[in-house]
Amino acid sequence: MSVDPADFLERAVEIPSHEDVDAMRELLVAELADAGVEARVDDAGNTLARTAGAREGPHVVLNTHIDTVPPHVPPKRDGDVLRGRGSCDAKGPLAVLLSAFLDTEPARGTLTLAVTPDEETESTGADALDLDADCYVVGEPTELDACTAARGRFQGTVTLSGTAAHAAEPESGVSAIQGAAAALRAVEMYDDERGPDTHPSLGAPTLTATTIEGGGATNQIPADCSFVIDRRSVPPETANGFFAGLREHLRAAVPDAVGVEVEPQERTTPFLEAFATPHDSDVVCALCGAGAGDPRPFGAATEASYFADDAPTVVFGPGYLADDEGAVAHAEREYVDLPEVEAGARIVTDALDDLLA
């Protein structure tokens, strides 16, 4: 039995899931049960359901998440537009994937629905998944384009340490702020000297200092200064390789008297790294053949990076990250066009029929 994706979506957006996803997960499990599908929730909070054909074939995984960013914005329907938190990120894509999952009866192979609980924060659910799939479709707002690549996102803190002294005798101390100035200049030159080549789909990586703090008194040479860096990576750069390279680069650029430390952001799970899926992969061809827009990069980091090392991965779903008026996903004005939700469900269903026929 199928589900009306627009109806499911409206009920899903009604449920707050920015602090706790239990109620949203209960809705998903109940919807699957009403359709005669038994779902299980694993120790990491992932909701998993599976169906299989009579013959051997590929294992296709449909993945998205049920958590949202705060605050909760209740649903409001305006004709064919549904507004509210999660309408496009990512309950709209969830409605698409759930509908396609329930509408597909594989003749061969295996189809798994894997819905994670914390994509917007630590991604512990995605990190715990070990599905051994042949391809993944990850639900995010892509305007129904087949997004085959995305930059990664790394964050770290650069700390400079000097020696405090009276500001009237600056030569008696070592200024951490002066060290930070040299480090910031070096950050601007990092990619020219050490960064990866420009990626054919994703372009060049970026490295930006986003916050800075230092000093303890207005009449004192500062002994400490630190700034946060935001890295948007492209293949084949890894988090470990980037931080190792940045440490060497900054140490060479900063005066020897100033200490330099580069520490990655503390996480319980790996960083979301960059990925790129070949356009001739079966899953890409199936989605585009079913009506998805031409392959292009996705504009944000996603849990797709956790799966892309395992198998070809495509990000797909209804909705916009941003439109002509500004931000949509994560914004107070978040919305999705319901005909796009229905079209997305048809596209994924047809693609699955191709992959699992």
Residue 90: is the preceding peptide bond cis (ω within 30°)?
yes
- The catalytic site residues sit at 67, 119
Q: Are 154 and 271 in contact (CB under 8 A)?
A: yes
State the residue for tokens 């990866």: 196
Length of the chain counted residue by residue? 357
Alpha-carbon distance of 22 to 118, in angstroms, equals 12
Identify the CA nearest to 202 among candidates 165, 177, 237, 166.
237
Q: Are 74 and 23 in contact (CB under 8 A)?
A: no
Q: What letter represents residue 304's amino acid?
A: A
Taken in order 170, 174, 175, 180, the sign of the CA dihedral is positive
Give me the residues paired with residue 86 across strands. Answer: none
User: Is residue 43 classed exposed, middle or buried when 0-12, 13-18 and 19+ CB atoms within 10 A define those classes?
Assistant: exposed
